[in-house]
Structure 1
Amino acid sequence: MLRLADLDTAAIEALLAHYGLNLVRVADGEAIPGSYWGEDEAGIIGSTVYARGDTPVHSVLHEAGHLIVLPPERRAGVHTDATDSIAEEDAVCYLQIVLGGMLPGVGSERVMMDMDAWGYSFRLGSARAWFEHDAEDARAWLIDHKLLTRGGEPV
């Protein structure tokens, strides 16, 4: 599993900043504020994503995705859990894969492999199969919310 410590975080910080988000590094061994899953999983509070060096990159991208899909006025009240619906959760999963593709040393394929290793479950058996063959509704949600272009590029 690709961890935050495996990367130069400048690219992730720049990507998050593009969406008005901040990445705060938590010291090794410290509890991660706003982590829904605990342990090494990323956390969210307001417009900030919290992570340690041992936090999986896909977790950082997933939690960032939760904040990206929210309008800024809703972000302010977020603490730990940001999901509003299944459609929104699906959109976040799709977005984390797209965002991974924008990061040097990461890539969409690696994000999907790590999602599978973490235990995400999709009807078609893998993140890749879902992304390529069963995620039209998630993609449409992101396009409708002006987070992806019709060509599939992030806004």
Structure 2
Amino acid sequence: MTVLRLSDIDRGAIETLLALYGLSLTLVNDGEAIPGSFWGDDEAGIIGHSVYARGDTPVHSLLHEAGHLMVLPPERRGDVHTDATDSIEEEDAVCYLQIVLGDRLPGVGRERIMADMDTWGYTFRLGSARAWFEHDAENARSWLIEHGLLNQAGEPV
């Protein structure tokens, strides 16, 4: 199975989603290095209030890096370049958030995001993104609710 790429979906939907959080998508030409990418290659990058991606950037990567900016107060985002946090709580929250944000993108959904996370090599104590999300992510969900990013029903706000 190959992972879903930015070029496979409606880019406007990503731009609209990011804008809800005060973020923007900056496209990078194919073959060029992605600014602010922690992992390099085709992985999304973050600098300030912008998420950088190419057409071959995995959607799950774009949502993950955007999530790092979303969990920060807007006044702290401007200081971010490449690496947003070393907090385990924030990292867990970002993984949870990227999954639920998949439902906000037409033709994507949380099931696809979780499958792509597994394909890409995310590792979870219970063996899969789905098992973690359904049985071991209450701390991440609670963190997102406490910080106003999810409502009590677990939906992004």
The bucket for the TM-score relative to the shorter chain is over 0.9
Query: Aligned residue for 2:80?
Result: 78
Query: Aligned residue for 1:28?
Result: 30
Q: Equivalences for 1:10-49 in 2 at 5 Å?
A: 10-49=12-51
Deviations 1:72-113 (A, max 9, x none): 111000000001410000000000000011110110000000
The count of aligned residue pairs is: 155
Deviations 1:38-93 (A, max 9, x none): 00000000000000000000000000000000001110000000014100000000
Rate the CA distance shift 1:71–1:84 in 2: closer, same or farther, 3 A: farther
Query: Aligned residue for 1:123?
Result: 125
Percent identical among aligned pairs is 78
> Which runs of 5 or more structure 1 residues have no equivalent in the other structure?
none
Query: What is the CA-CA distance between 1:132 and the residue it aligns to?
Result: 0.4
Distance in 1, matches of 2:91 and 2:5, equals 22
Q: Which stretches of structure 1, 4 residues or more, deviate above 3 A after TM superposition? A: none
> Which runs of 5 or more structure 2 residues have no equivalent in the other structure?
none
- Paired letter, 2:22: G
